[in-house]
Homo-oligomer: A and B are copies of this chain.
Amino acid sequence: MTHTLGIDFGTNSVRAIVVDCSNGAVIGTGVFGYPSGEHGVLLSPRDPHLARQNPADYLAGLQASVQGALAEAGSAPGFSPDGVIGIGVDTTGSTPLPVDARARPLAFDPKWTSNLAAHAWLWKDHTSADEASRITSIAREHAPEYLSPIGGTYSSEWWWSKIWHCLNVAPDVFEAAASWVELADFIPAVLAGVDDPRNIVRCVCAAGHKAMYSDSWGGLPAKAFLARLDPRLADLRDRLFDRAYPADRPAGALSDDWARRLGLSPGISIAMGGFDAHYGAVGSGVRTGTFVKIIGTSTCDCAIAPVSGEIADIPGICGIVSGSIMPGYYGIEAGQSAVGDILRWWVEGVCEGDDTAHATLSREAAALAPGQSGLLALDWNNGNRTILVDTRLTGVILGQTLHTTRAEIYRALIEATAFGARAIIERISEFGVPIDRVVCCGGIAEKNDLFMQIYADVIGQPMLIAGSPQTPALGAAIAAAVTAGGAAAHHDAWAAAQERMTTVKDKRFAPDPAAHHVYDELYGMYRELHDTFGGVAPSSRTDLGTLMKRLLALKERSTR
């Protein structure tokens, strides 16, 4: 029997699982909550946009979570640490950290430990909003090709914005850094005992989606472009990397030191690191035609398309990167800026509901027929990531009467997020990547049946739920199994491993044809609002002057 380890570095904790390569069964789990800051996040009392992490937590968590998982696996029949043939790692991102010439985090140096800029810049750090918008405008003018595969707008959550912001606010940290590394590349390098930043193997997943890397223009952005931001960024380029790779090769082999620390065999292969969403898609069984939705506070949506076919840039899609999810495929990433967050805002923020309020409102909302409330909402309380790529959009609730209830609004908000999801699927399909299967992961998918049924009815396709509650770690374990088998470059091997190691739950949500029919009509009205307030509608396509009346007519027809 062979096993692999999948290790998932989340925002607040790290989780390791030991997985049976024959069937994907998890036989051991270890979880370690980061001890620093607030639930592992270093905050600043002066700046609510700041979110950093202490790299020491990563290493402590790596060791503790793996030891915990192995200890639990030890009681499973047929398990032996010698049978662990590989390790896969997924992380949040873009989470860059500065390292010294020995590839050690700068924050480990007592000189820099107290400087928050020397720690890891967590994905949700938004201190670099100004830099992001300047990168976008400079790229639009001088290198629009850099923006095409990332949806047209560079984000403050991404690599260059953060590093540039560090240069602007903590130039001493910037100058002290020998290089910068994504967390997704840092952990595999640690496990492989890499002691020179130039030898860190970089994944195209992070580089392509967050660092404007593409083989088609020779890797990272040209020095001339970076010099327009700051000449010191152009200099830094020489100390970063020339190539980034899909997961068609290992990131390295387990070092003697870490083999000893973890109780594993030295030299076993370490799969390429990857982002949690991408390995989550692998662990959800992503394949051509499948749309994976990781539904949490926001969503990350993933699909793949064979690199053998040509696909156009898809307007408004965050990223299309060859090999970023699986070798041999374009990885397509999209997302909604707020989903669970909108429901929590309504239930806990506005209605001030307690723990039982979500369930109560779900039950009341489930008694309503589609269209019955007369309400229509836009799901933009946190902007629109896909397909408008515009953070400066806000929420709308329309159609209220004096009898409108909080449960009706709750349902309208779920519907709004479902309409937003449909807009993404339609956009991807229109540009040559047809979708025939939607697989969801996350707590909402597993717990909120009303939510899932509305999504099925709005999208018009069955909503499946991934069999594993830990799809990112499972995906990393699959990558480890394929890599250890020496077949990482062959996409049939990935498909076979997914077939063997992933499942969907028996419980699935089929669209109701009558409800889908009503939602087709409501979705048309949603698009009128969406396109108008999103600034992309010619007014000839919308008729807002009759919208309320059409909603009322639908309400009257729908009331049961």
Stretch in A246-254, A388-396, A514-522 with 4+ CB within 8 Å of B? A388-396
Bound together, the chains give a CA A367 to CA B307 distance in angstroms of 57
The answer to whether A533 touches B552, judged by C-beta atoms less than 8 angstroms apart, is no
A323-343 at interface with B (beta carbon < 8 Å): 338, 341-342
Q: Contact partner of A552 among B350, B392, B532, B549, CB < 8 A? A: B392
Q: Which residues of B contact A402 (CB under 8 A)?
A: 338, 341-342, 345, 349, 381-382
Query: 29 interchain pairs (CB within 8 A)?
Result: A338-B402, A341-B402, A342-B402, A345-B400, A345-B402, A345-B404, A349-B403, A349-B404, A349-B405, A350-B351, A350-B405, A350-B406, A350-B409, A351-B351, A382-B402, A393-B548, A395-B398, A395-B399, A395-B404, A396-B396, A396-B397, A396-B400, A397-B400, A533-B544, A533-B547, A534-B545, A535-B546, A536-B545, A544-B544
Q: Which residues of B contact A199 (CB under 8 A)?
A: none
Q: Which residues of B contact A395 (CB under 8 A)?
A: 398-401, 404
Q: Contact partner of A532 among B341, B396, B544, CB < 8 A? A: B544
The answer to whether A404 touches B350, judged by C-beta atoms less than 8 angstroms apart, is yes
The answer to whether B545 touches A533, judged by C-beta atoms less than 8 angstroms apart, is yes
Question: What is the chain B residue whose CB lies nearest that of A552?
Answer: B392
A348-394 at interface with B (beta carbon < 8 Å): 349-352, 374, 380-382, 392-394
Whole-angstrom distance between the Cβ of A537 and the nearest chain B Cβ? 7
Q: Is A539 an interface residue (CB 8 A)?
A: yes
Q: Is A551 an interface residue (CB 8 A)?
A: yes
The answer to whether A545 touches B537, judged by C-beta atoms less than 8 angstroms apart, is yes
Q: Which residues of B contact A399 (CB under 8 A)?
A: 394-396
Bound together, the chains give a CA A345 to CA B393 distance in angstroms of 27
- Mark A residues whose CB is within 8 Å of B: 338, 341-342, 345, 349-352, 374, 380-382, 392-406, 409, 532-537, 539, 544-549, 551-552
Q: Contact partner of A396 among B393, B394, B398, CB < 8 A? A: B398
Q: Which residues of B contact A396 (CB under 8 A)?
A: 396-400
Q: Which residues of B contact A405 (CB under 8 A)?
A: 349-350
Bound together, the chains give a CA A352 to CA B405 distance in angstroms of 10
Q: Which residues of B contact A397 (CB under 8 A)?
A: 396-398, 400
Assuming A394-B548, A545-B535, A546-B535, is B409 touching A381 (CB within 8 A)? Answer: no
Not counting A394-B399, A395-B398, A532-B544, a sample of 10 additional A-B residue pairs whose C-beta atoms are within 8 angstroms of each other reads: A341-B402, A345-B400, A350-B405, A380-B548, A395-B399, A395-B400, A396-B400, A397-B398, A397-B400, A544-B544
Question: What is the chain B residue whose CB lies nearest that of A531?
Answer: B545
Whole-angstrom distance between the Cβ of A545 and the nearest chain B Cβ? 3
| Pairs of residues from A and B, 9 with the lowest C-beta to C-beta distance, nearest first | A535-B545, A395-B400, A539-B539, A394-B399, A396-B398, A394-B548, A345-B402, A397-B397, A381-B402
Bound together, the chains give a CA A409 to CA B409 distance in angstroms of 14
Query: Which of A392, A396, A533, A548 is most buried by chain B, counting CB atoms within 10 A of its CB?
Result: A548
Whole-angstrom distance between the Cβ of A417 and the nearest chain B Cβ? 13
Bound together, the chains give a CA A394 to CA B539 distance in angstroms of 21
Q: Which residues of B contact A551 (CB under 8 A)?
A: 394
Q: Which residues of B contact A381 (CB under 8 A)?
A: 400-402, 404
Q: Which residues of B contact A537 (CB under 8 A)?
A: 545
Whole-angstrom distance between the Cβ of A481 and the nearest chain B Cβ? 39
The answer to whether A401 touches B374, judged by C-beta atoms less than 8 angstroms apart, is no
The answer to whether B394 touches A398, judged by C-beta atoms less than 8 angstroms apart, is yes
Whole-angstrom distance between the Cβ of A48 and the nearest chain B Cβ? 11
Bound together, the chains give a CA A213 to CA B382 distance in angstroms of 55
Q: Which residues of B contact A546 (CB under 8 A)?
A: 535
Query: Which of A398, A400, A552 is most buried by chain B, counting CB atoms within 10 A of its CB?
Result: A400
The answer to whether B394 touches A552, judged by C-beta atoms less than 8 angstroms apart, is yes
Question: What is the chain B residue whose CB lies nearest that of A393?
Answer: B548
Q: Which residues of B contact A539 (CB under 8 A)?
A: 539
